[in-house]
Amino acid sequence: MNFRDIVAIIYGIPFVWIGISHFTDPTWFEPIVPEILGNAYFWVILSGVFEVLIGVGIMIPRLRKVSAAAMVLMLITLYWANLNMWVNNIPLSGQTFEDKWHILRGVIQVALIFVALWIGKFPPFKDEMYDKNNLLIFDGQIFSSGFESGDRIVIGNWKYTPFGKFTDIMWAKPDGKKVLIAPNQKLIDFISGMYKFDEYIISNFSIEEESNKILIKSDQIECELEWYKGIKIPFKRPLWFISSLEYIVAFIFFRTKTNGLTNDGRQEWYAIEKVSNLSSAKASINGKDLGKMTNFEPKATFGFSEPRKRPSAVELKSHIQRKVGDRIDYS
């Protein structure tokens, strides 16, 4: 446990305690809820739920990043109630407060926001993990689809990586066994260190590409995919944004994760550039047709995130935390 862990625990406990008090004594908080919101009891209980969940989350290292971002948003939002109490001179427990105490309360709120930013390693507090010299970057596409046979396939078609250009296939069989197919042992070793597999196959690959169509052939699997135009994200986002606000949006709407921890303890970020739905997917394994394209289910559990349930083509840059001994000469 390091200093940041200790501070996060000390920071989170009061929020949990205050959140619980929203349930045990809601009438104490109700007077400062802005009238425009309506039912004060509802907002007191809802804010209590968020304070407990976020307070607990910020104490847990794996949830700290997203919880710290949520904490900042919550503190900004909840200050509306404190400002309402100040502007309208609303008494709390029968007592009103002078301006100097409201100013002090505002200063404390700002301080709490900065502490949350520090705990989450957000700007202006530098996180050395985001230094490009500490990252391996894989630039390419990920295709994912389920099939009528029960097989689920994820294909990485990487154009720019520390290992050069390559394609790999993650194959989840109907019985749940997970297979990695890659062009050489070096990639097998690297990928299998980060994700879970039961079987590994070294295979030759051939790729035929068009603007919205690709034919991928390995020694075992042949897959032909087509996709719609899709939605392009026209701007870059910093990794801290991808691991916090974007993480929340991706999980709520797509049940995917944009940041997480690999099996060998690396942080990984998915910087999505374009998302398209597949219009068709045809695949065969050792000459046997897999049937119609279906949703990607059940979960494959290769790693910390699942693909979208809907068959997809995603353009992205995967940023992976370097470890000692990693190759960094891009080709």
**What per-residue confidence (pLDDT) applies to 1?**
78
pLDDT in tens, 77-110: 999 999 999 999 998 888 888 989 999 999 999 9
Sorted by where each begins, the domain ranges of the chain are 3-125, 130-321
**What per-residue confidence (pLDDT) applies to 330?**
44
**How far apart are alpha carbons 147 and 163 in whole angstroms?**
30
Q: How far is CA 54 from CA 155, 166, 216, 268, 310, in A?
A: 36, 41, 44, 23, 30
pLDDT in tens, 211-245: 899 999 999 999 999 999 999 998 888 888 888 88
**What per-residue confidence (pLDDT) applies to 324?**
67
Alpha helix stretches (DSSP H) within the chain = 3-24, 26-29, 40-57, 64-87, 99-119, 185-194, 239-242, 245-254
**What per-residue confidence (pLDDT) applies to 124?**
74
Task: Give the SS3 label for residue 253.
Answer: helix
Ranges under pLDDT 70 in the chain: 126-132, 324-331
pLDDT in tens, 270-286: 999 999 999 999 999 99
**What per-residue confidence (pLDDT) applies to 127?**
59
**What per-residue confidence (pLDDT) applies to 22?**
96
Place of tokens 């804010």: 47
